[in-house]
Amino acid sequence: MLGPAVWLGLAVVSTAVIWAGSTRLERSAGRLSRRYGLPAAVHGAVVVAVGSSFPELSSVVVSTLLHGEFSLGVGAIVGSAIFNLLVIPAVAALASEELEATRDVVHKDAQFYIISVLVLFITFALGATYVPGGTTEAAILTPALVLLPLLTYGVYVFLQYQDTRDYASPSPTGIDARREWATLALALGLISVGVEGIVRAALGFGAYFDTPAFLWGVTIIAAATSLPDAFVSVRAARDDEDVTSLTNVLGSNTFNLLVAIPVGVLLAGSATVDFLVAVPMMGFLAVATLVFIVFTRTRLELSIVEAYALLGLYALFLGWMVLETVGVVDLVRGL
């Protein structure tokens, strides 16, 4: 069996590949948004969010198709959502000294993100009560059932599209759309390769330390695949594009919950969600969501003190995961 040093090296190299792809993706996405005249809110919530969420989507696809580990991909999605809410806005605020929000961000993007969490809960509940084989401890997700979150995301995209209708965009100059689309495709390919490496590293860590793959997905894979979101949000905050920085985080989480998890179910044909794992993890995600919304709504900005509070909450989450791994606590009982 290969040692942890090998898996650590693979994780570092894979993370670097994801970073390289993310850099190219962010640049091309920005140019394409200018080329097609999209407003900042739509650029952050849809274009950048979907693009920077490609690592999370890839983690579900790679984990499900290549390794038969749907739970690993789900762990990466939930862990990434927590990382996005607690770490990325905090780092962006520290990089720009403060991060200003708007009422539209809080009342539209944040509230729709809450809806996406509720829709996912409802989907799990339907899988437990109406799908044969579902129980009070596990939900069976089918392709027909996951149409609900996919249709919900369709509504989200439609609402974002409405914002483009009354937006007077400046005329784009000097942007070669074909070149940018080609660069975007190259970036997505690099990210896919990096995600495959980080998934293999997580599985290797799990086998070596005899720990559930879910825990490595919710920590290592989640942090690595969230790099594109972090890169985009910090860069936007430094350029005083606070709206893009925040909507990217919310839009990315919305995409991950409503699209990435259903895609994994569609690829697998069906999937089982263990409530003993999902409920405590989604519960923490709900707490992180409420804290994030309260902080951004207060004075419509994220202050330095609030940024450190978000980082502290994420440190508590990591501590909880470590205690679960070594068996000190047993709140996630399905592992």
pLDDT (0 to 100) of residue 87: 94
Rama region for 210: left / alpha / beta (φ>0; ψ in -120 to 50; rest): left
Q: What is the dihedral of CA 57, 291, 282, 160, to 10 degrees?
A: -40
pLDDT (0 to 100) of residue 165: 62
pLDDT (0 to 100) of residue 204: 84
Give the C-alpha separation, 9 to 190, whole Å: 18
Give the C-alpha separation, 104 to 106, whole Å: 6
The length of the chain, given as a count of residues: 335
pLDDT (0 to 100) of residue 181: 85
CA 91, 92, 98, 99 dihedral sign is negative
Q: What are phi and psi of 207, to 5 degrees?
A: -70, -40
pLDDT (0 to 100) of residue 328: 84
Q: pLDDT tens-digit profile of 265-299?
A: 888 888 888 888 888 888 899 999 999 989 988 88
Residue 298 gets which letter from DSSP? Answer: G
pLDDT (0 to 100) of residue 173: 60
Calculate the alpha carbon distances from 231 to 25, 49, 83 in Å.
10, 12, 13
Burial code (b: 16+ CB inside 10 Å, e: under 16) for 85-107 equals bbbbbbbbbbbbebbbbbeebbe
Helix (H, G, I), strand (E, B) or coil at 325: helix
pLDDT (0 to 100) of residue 311: 96
Contacts 24+ apart (CB under 8 A), 246-249: 246/44, 246/89, 246/99, 246/101, 246/105, 246/109, 246/296, 247/40, 247/41, 247/44, 247/45, 247/49, 247/105, 247/109, 248/44, 248/45, 248/48, 248/49, 248/52, 249/84, 249/85, 249/88, 249/89
Give the C-alpha separation, 315 to 275, whole Å: 24
Task: Record the pTM.
Answer: 0.84
Give the C-alpha separation, 286 to 88, whole Å: 17
Tokens 């942007």 correspond to: 175
Overall fold of domain 4-166+181-326: A middle domain of Talin 1 (1.20.1420)
pLDDT (0 to 100) of residue 31: 79
What is the token pair recorded at 121? 């809960």
Question: Which parts of the chain have pLDDT scores under 50?
Answer: none
Give the C-alpha separation, 330 to 335, whole Å: 9
pLDDT (0 to 100) of residue 58: 81
pLDDT (0 to 100) of residue 169: 56
pLDDT (0 to 100) of residue 53: 76
Quickly count: other Cβ atoms within 10 Å of residue 23's Cβ. Answer: 17
Calculate the alpha carbon distances from 247 to 84, 108, 219, 224, 237 in Å.
11, 10, 23, 20, 11
Residues facing residue 165 across a β-bridge: none
Could you give the count of Cα atoms lying within 13 Å of 68 in the half-sphere of its Cβ? 0
pLDDT (0 to 100) of residue 86: 94
**Radius of gyration of the CA atoms of the chain, in A:** 19
